C-alpha cells in the first residue's frame, strides 16, 4: 500500500547548508477574479543526506517528520542532475548579467577537457 505523503518536484536553488538543499517549487494557477494564469513559487528546505546535489538539479521531494525548525521535507530522488560546470555557470549568470561572457568561457573550457 503506497504511503500518502505529498511529493513535489522542483529545482535546487541553494546547496550552501550542510545536508540541506533549498528547493523552489513552481506551480501555475488561475487568478480567482481575472482568470489570468499566474506562476506561484515556494521554497522548501529539504534534507539531502548525501550532500551531493548541485544547484540547478531537478529533484523530487517528499514530506517527512520535522528534522529541524524549517526542514520538513526530504529529497526522494534526482530527476535531472546538472554538472558542476553548468551549476557554476548558473550561479555566475544569476550574480551579474555582464558575467555571461565569463560563463561562456567556463563552458568552453569544460568542453575542451572532455
Q: How far apart are the first and last CA of the chain?
A: 46
**What is the structure's pLDDT at 83?**
78
Residues 23 and 72 reside in one and the same domain: yes
Helix/strand/coil for 92: helix
**Segment 40-88, tens digit of pLDDT:** 999 999 999 999 999 999 999 999 999 999 999 999 999 999 876 777 7
Residues 94 and 66 reside in one and the same domain: no
Domain of residue 55, CATH code: 2.40.50.140
Radius of gyration of the chain measured on its C-alpha atoms:
17
Residues 77 and 100 reside in one and the same domain: no
Residues 12 and 45 reside in one and the same domain: yes
Whether 87 and 56 have beta carbons less than 8 Å apart is answered as: yes
Instruction: Give Cβ neighbours of residue 76 (< 8 Å, ≥ 6 apart).
Output: 7, 59, 60, 61, 62
Which of left, alpha, beta for 53 (phi over 0: left; psi -120 to 50: alpha)? beta
Number of CB atoms found within 10 A of residue 48's CB: 21
Residues 102 and 63 reside in one and the same domain: no
Query: Does 111 score more than 70 pLDDT?
Result: no
Residues 18 and 53 reside in one and the same domain: yes
Residues 103 and 61 reside in one and the same domain: no
Alpha-carbon distance 78 to 75, whole Å?
Answer: 8
Q: What percent of the chain has pLDDT over 90?
A: 65
Q: Residue 98 is part of which domain span?
A: 83-114
Q: What is the pTM of this model?
A: 0.73
Average pLDDT, the chain: 88
Amino acid at each position: 500500500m503506497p504511503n500518502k505523503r505529498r511529493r513535489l518536484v522542483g529545482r535546487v536553488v541553494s546547496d550552501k547548508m550542510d545536508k540541506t538543499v533549498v528547493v523552489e517549487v513552481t506551480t501555475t494557477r488561475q487568478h480567482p477574479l481575472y482568470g489570468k494564469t499566474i506562476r506561484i513559487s515556494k521554497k522548501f528546505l529539504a534534507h539531502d543526506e548525501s550532500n551531493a546535489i548541485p544547484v540547478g538539479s531537478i529533484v523530487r521531494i517528499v514530506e517527512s517528520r520535522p528534522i529541524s525548525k524549517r526542514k520538513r521535507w526530504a529529497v526522494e530522488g534526482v530527476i535531472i542532475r546538472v554538472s558542476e560546470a553548468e551549476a557554476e555557470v548558473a550561479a555566475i549568470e544569476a550574480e551579474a548579467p555582464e558575467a555571461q561572457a565569463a560563463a561562456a568561457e567556463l563552458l568552453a573550457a569544460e568542453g575542451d577537457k572532455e
